[in-house]
Structure 1
Amino acid sequence: NSFSCTRPDGCHYLQSKDGPVHGDFFNQSSFATYAIGRRRGVIKVRQDAPLEMLGPLGCGIQTGAGAVFNIFKMKPSQSLVVYGAGSLGLSAVMAAKIAGAGKIIAVDLHPSRLQLAAELGADEVISADEGSANDKIRKILPDGVDFALDTTAVASVMLDGIDILAPRGTFGFVTAPSNGKDLPIPMRSLMKGCKIAGISEGNSNPEVFIPQLIDFYMQGKFPFDRLIKFYPFDEIEQTFHDSESGAAIKPVLRFDQ
C-alpha cells in the first residue's frame, strides 16, 4: 500500500473542507516537516549511526544491496553487470564488492557516475552511448554474466540484461518499462536455465538488513555517504534539476532545524 496515500485500513490522517487529504504517500508523505511513522516501519539503529544519512537506506540503497545479497545470493568469483549507476546500481556495486565478486561491471551514460562506480568497486565501466554495451561485456566475459541488474526501466536495456546472462544466470529488475508496455521476453535466452526476478526493496527484512548495512558502513565497507548530496529545502527546484541531470545521485532535502 505504499502508493495508496492512505493508512492500511484505507482511512486518511487528515481531512480538509474539500474532503480527505492524501497525505501518506509512500507511507510517509513527501516534503513534510513532520510525519507519522508506523511501528512496523521504524527501524532501531546503533547509537553511533549518522542519523542524517540513514533515510536513503529505506529505499534505493536497500534495494540495490538487497538484490545482491538476498536475491542473487552472490558468491565469491561470480560476476555482475549493473545497468544504471544511480543510487540503486552503485549500492549493488558496493554490495558485490563485499560479497567478493569476481567481476563487477557498471553501465551508464554519465562519465562522473562511471568514475564513481570504479571508485566504489566496479572492475569495468562501460559508457552506454558508445556502441553496444553487451558487445563490450562479451569481450570481458565471453560466456556472459552470472547476474544482471537493471535499474533503468528502459525496455531495450532490460532485454540486453536478459541476453547477456551466462547459463543458469539471473536477471533482476526493480520496475517495469517506463512506457507502460509489456516486455517481449526472449524465451530462447532463458532456455539456458536462466531466471528473471522482480525485486521490491531488495526482498529484505528491513529490521535486520538496514542495521547490517549500517554496520558495513561503519566498518568502511559500504560508503553509501558518497552517493548523498544535501540541499536546504529552499533549493528544492535545484534539487530536482540536479537529480534529473545526473549531477546528484541521491539528493537529500533538509529543513531548517
Structure 2
Amino acid sequence: MKATVALWKEPGGPASLEPVEIGALAAREVLVRMSGGGICRTDLAAAAGIVPLPVPFVLGHEGAGVVEAVGAAVDTVEVGDEVILSFDSCGDCVQCAANHPAFCELFPALNYSGTRLDGSTTLTQDDLPVHGSWLGQSSFGTYAVAGVRNTVKVPTRPAGLPLEFLGPLGCGVLAGAGTVFNVLRPQPGQGIAVFGLGGVGLSAVMAATVAGCHPIIGIDPHPRRRPLAQEVGATHTIDPGGVDDIDRAIAHIAGAGVDFAVDTVGSGAVVRHALMSLRMPGVCATLGLQAMKNDITIDQGHLQMGRTLTGGLEGDADPHTLIPHLIDLWRQGRFPFDQLITRFPFPRIEDALEAVRSGKAVKPVLVFD
C-alpha cells in the first residue's frame, strides 16, 4: 500500500512530502494509520546529520494513531486499536529481561539503522529502499510500520484528550518524566533544578510536581518557557541571562543546594552548573544531546563531595508501564502535558521543525487528516 511521508534525501536538506510503498508486514510488525506525530530535538539531530542515517530516510518517533493491520504473530493489539509508538527493544536480552528496555543490547540496530535487523526496509520508492524504522517507527507519514514491542495500546482515552496529542508520550515526555520517576526517584520535599525547559525539561518539572518535590527550579533563557514552567508546577524560574551568577541564584532559593538536577541541554557549561547546584550528596542526570561525541569537563571535587553525574536514555522506562500511568495522571489533573503541544498540519512540517529550532513551540505535533 502507499503512504505519504516526509522524506529527507540528504542530511541538512529540507523534507519533501512524497509517496512511498509499504511492503508486507513481518510477523511481529504493526501498520498504524497516523493521527499525530510529535517532533523531538532528536529528529532535528538526525535531519542535520548529527545522528547518521542512510539516505533517503524518514524520521518521526512520537507517533499516535489507529492500528490498520497486524503481522501474523501479533496478539497484543488488533485492527482498530488506538496506539502510541515508542522506541523499540528486543525483549530477550539481559537488560530487557531486567525491565530496562531503553538499554536493550540491540537498541542501536533497532532504532538508529534505518532498517530491520535483517537489513531490509519497511518502505520503498520506485523499488529502491527508503530508510525508515527510526526509533522503531518513522512516524512522519500517513502510515507507519512499528514493532509489537514499541506499539503501546492506549487505555480508555479520557474525554478531552485528542489521540494526536498522545504521541509525545512515546519519547520526549517519557524521557523527562521517566528520568524523575525511575532514575532520580525523589522523595516529597526534596529539591530539584531542571536546566532547559523544552518538552523533556517541562515533563521533568511535571513529574517532580507529582513526586512532591520542593523547590522545583526551572532554568531557561527563553521568555515564553519560564511562565509555562510555573503553570505546570515549577515553584521558581531563573533566566540565566538575567543573573550574574546562576549558582548563587539557585543557592538563594535552595540554600545548600538541590537534591537533584536534570540537564536537558548537554553543553559542558550547563552540566557543570547542574552539578554545582547540588547539595552534598546529590544526583544530576544529563539528557541533552549535542553530538554523538560530546566531550565535557567537570571538577572532580564535585564527585568527591558525594555528587553523582549519571546519564539517561528514554527515562529508563518501560513504555507499556509508564505511558498508561502518565495518561492516568493527566486524567487526575496532575500531569498537564497537553499544555506543551502546538498543532501543525502535516504539510507544514518545515514550519514545525523551525518552531522547535527557534523555541517558538515547546512540542509541535503534526496532525494528519
Shorter-normalised TM range: over 0.9
Matches within 5 A, 1:213-252: 213-252=326-365
Matches within 5 A, 1:1-257: 1=108, 2-15=111-124, 19-49=128-158, 50=161, 51-131=163-243, 132-178=245-291, 180-256=293-369
Greater mean alpha carbon deviation, residues 154-163 or residues 237-246: 237-246
- Per residue, is there more helix in 1 or in 2? 1
CA displacement 1:76-101 (0-9 Å, x = unmatched): 01000000011111111111111111
- Equivalent residues of 1:79, 1:101 under 8 A apart: yes
Relative to structure 1, the CA distance from residue 179 to residue 54 in structure 2 (aligned partners, 3 Å threshold; closer, same or farther) is closer
CA displacement 1:40-63 (0-9 Å, x = unmatched): 011122222432211000111011
Q: How many pairs align?
A: 256
TM-score after normalising by structure 1: 0.94
How many Å separate the matches in 2 of 1:161 and 1:198? Answer: 13
How many Å separate the matches in 2 of 1:125 and 1:17? Answer: 52
How many Å separate the matches in 2 of 1:6 and 1:201? Answer: 21
Residue 211 of structure 1: CA displacement?
Answer: 0.3
Residue 4 of structure 1: CA displacement?
Answer: 1.2
RMSD: 1.7
* Gapped regions of structure 2 (runs ≥ 5): 1-107
The letter of the residue matching 2:250 is: I
How many Å separate the matches in 1 of 2:182 and 2:128? Answer: 42
| Identity score, percent | 43
CA displacement 1:159-196 (0-9 Å, x = unmatched): 11112211120010114444943111211001122211
Bigger CA radius of gyration:
2
* Gapped regions of structure 1 (runs ≥ 5): none
